[in-house]
Structure 1
């Protein structure tokens, strides 16, 4: 009985976990001004991909302003929950705790009864409002599996203490009187709910299971003892044997009915070998094998290889007597080859002394829940990726355009001091060159602006050698001032599929850093080469180097600097790393103090 109750409780907790993930994802649509972006799109994905959620809301300052789906919920728009007496207490409870709290079950303004999970949202440490999910009561009951059990033996009841009347209220249609009933109860703190599993016959499943097995074994022993005395009292003993046999058969029939009708997979397994001894129909359905096929296998052969170590580790502890049961999430390999996620509960069934002979395994198929969770994670990653791209764009503007404006300012200052027409022409030529480069950068940035809310960046087939040459032209003044030697060994035929603005930014930051942080006792030598087999661009210098043991973890951190150079801002490598990640690549670093640094940029 407790196993069934725990399965349903876990279903409740999974629903609440999915709701929290959905509310958090919805909150991520808020921009810095507290205005949601792509609410309809993200809200639609959350509701469509999560069967346990009926609607989502954004509630600035306690007033519902955004809801999806709109048509069936439009009556709640402008509904002020802080000034609605029966909603105030539970809304304020969520604000005070700063945690998501599930109000209700309560009457919904749009009709029906449901629960509302409200996640308080804070902007600049000030309360903004709520990101909320709505779950109708019928949806909650259906998805939790409450109605999936055989209600001829037992039934569920669901209650909560009314915050106003302080009386316990029951929400299911079954008998609400518990005083004369045998039941088990668990609490669900996220909504201050109580979940009861009530026996109709003053006992529960676990008691029936163990009573049936124990009584059956006991009667079998008694029958065996009586058989030894049959020669003395054949007629009387034969009659008693028949009576006891009928009792045993009756108990076995009761156990078989419970075993076969259970809404979860159940298997009795030999603990020493892992071989299946008995399997119910639901277990066979979950893994796709017929009962006869499973009886020729052990649980190890159908367990997903990456999950086997955890399973065997817990089984070893079970054998050694350290634990009597355990619960894990794991994967099975279905007969068809697909992966099946299950919640597995294992408990000792029979011991001989201290040796565990066999155990019972109860499995619940949670594949659909895992798929929904994965979809929600993808939605969350989508929102995070959009925010990251916007952040990258703002840094490109502040960081890269500064180099162009600095060059223009330098040339203009030099123009003030020229004395010959020839020098003036040279300065104007440089100014045109920088202006053209600035124009190209602005065009690339404009492309980024146009796609900043798009999942996919504009990708072009770019000549890497030419882009390096452009960066060297842009840095020609710094190269000349430092008497640096730059070797562009990248073949001219190398093309990569990349975003132009990102590639320009990456090359500029790495090369300018190599010039800026040169060794004071030698002229800078910078070499760029390309591994065509593995698509790796290597940028190597003979500068001051980086202490990777001390600074390796923070090398690409925002505002992290590792020297006393007054020009160091701690932005360039941060921008570069994020851009490389966004393009599906990675960057590795090799460096030694006073020797130099090598960056390896991997292209997808």
Structure 2
């Protein structure tokens, strides 16, 4: 038998050892998978930034030509797109512009289409007519790196390329790839050569990569593959120790089993002696429990009765002999979910003594429960405390009355006992009705009759609803007729005391005269209305001043600039071609005049958008949306009615200015990838909304910060008697909805 126990235990411990080995192997694989996925996402981010920079530069060249301030544009692209080392512009195949210039001087004037070692990427971009990233290649300025290009076509002919340079070291740092072999993992990047079909590796690494784990990294011109292996493989020292420990445990268990087998007679003798002692102790214990005046029951771990004394049988109206072995929750099914049910289970769970007081509705009696748990079950002593609880409840009711009265000091206090229909009121309460303390307290009908007819039915319904609900507080305001027949505003706060079933027993309250407060609130509302009118007036003045300034700029400065340009053009034509310096200076002056005209038009649009006056609100909103998308590359979907919206000038201006302010905030703070906006008209209102899917924010911050932009939008709408609603939360974007009467 001992040998059998030894081999069984040995088999079990070695099985656990093998399972431990499998778990450790699976954990290593998951760690490698997670690391590979993270590195893949970082590589894709680098590629996305490269695509964004080259696409933006190509768009600028196609629309506006080569910018005179190329360095400024390139700097903005580098600031907006991380992990890019340089921005290049190629006309034909020749690199004409590069930023930053320092360290990249060698590439200026270099024709990539004539270089056999570097032209393949440019040729592939031309064939695809789209984004193509080549590399790693040996860079002209030194080192290795990747060059992403987008061909630029004008009139279906190749004009040149927009290009972004990423050094190999930059790519590795961005992806978090450590090539020093000092970390927990070794990495290798590879791609399939589209010409040869062979796999080419990017990194120098002495490790033998047997494709322990690989993950694809998608790029527009093929696929990179990331290889990763763990530097620290599964060690067998811990497994060997665990196996050795299992063998020792099995040997110890076998010796223990052998010892047990050798001692059966002695153990049987000890069991018999202890059994006799327990039987004698149990007999004395039962005699003692029958003598006590309190009820006592004992339950095993399955909640079955193991003992019940005669006092408990008397309380529960059952024979203790017939209850033994039965489940308490079967005998008393209504007890499940009651406080004592929860207390019994909690005591067994925590193995701690618990004391509770419980009201048994069926017997209308109170009992205190002393619950003593043990690993074998639970013992409960119960004592009838009904008389004590009634005295405590009466004292509690008296204390509650005085506590509530103390809360309502200096107000009209009253109490209504639903059980006895008794009413009580203090001196101030009696004075509200023109009575003294010697007069009877007026009843509910008298109170209802003094409520203003315009408030009476609403207050009566609210009071009835509060009494039928489970709420303990009822607060309301109403107009109340005083003894001089004048109405005053009353703030009535009531406390409802209920029994255990939730039925109302008493109502205690205080009535406070808040007429002066109401007058102050009305005065504040009047001031606010005056401020809104002033705001409306200031908005009108500002828009009129914008129109006046825009008109003067258009009629005076714009015409003067045009006249000057015409004069310069005439002079330029008259100057002989041999005077190249003068011709160049005149050409520069014309360029400056054109830029001045652009600035004037931009200023005119900011002061007063002409499209709003000439074509209406819908066209103005659609134009502003297109301008926003062209500037930020964020798509804006606008839904509006097909027919012309007939909105007065102040309403149209209000909606357009709010649209502009919202788009400005989205550009600065939202980091959104999409914006939606809509305009609808009803018979009486024009409804406008704009929403983004950006970062969002906590609207509570608007209360603590000087958010003048949002405040200005809100005041614009309020000045037109409209409604303004802003909703936002962190991570869920922001939406603005306004409604203005037509």
TM-score by length of 2: 0.34
1 or 2, which has the higher helix percentage? 2
Q: Return the structure number with greater relative CO, CA threshold 8 A, min gap 6.
A: 1
Task: Name which one, 1 or 2, has greater alpha-carbon Rg.
Answer: 2
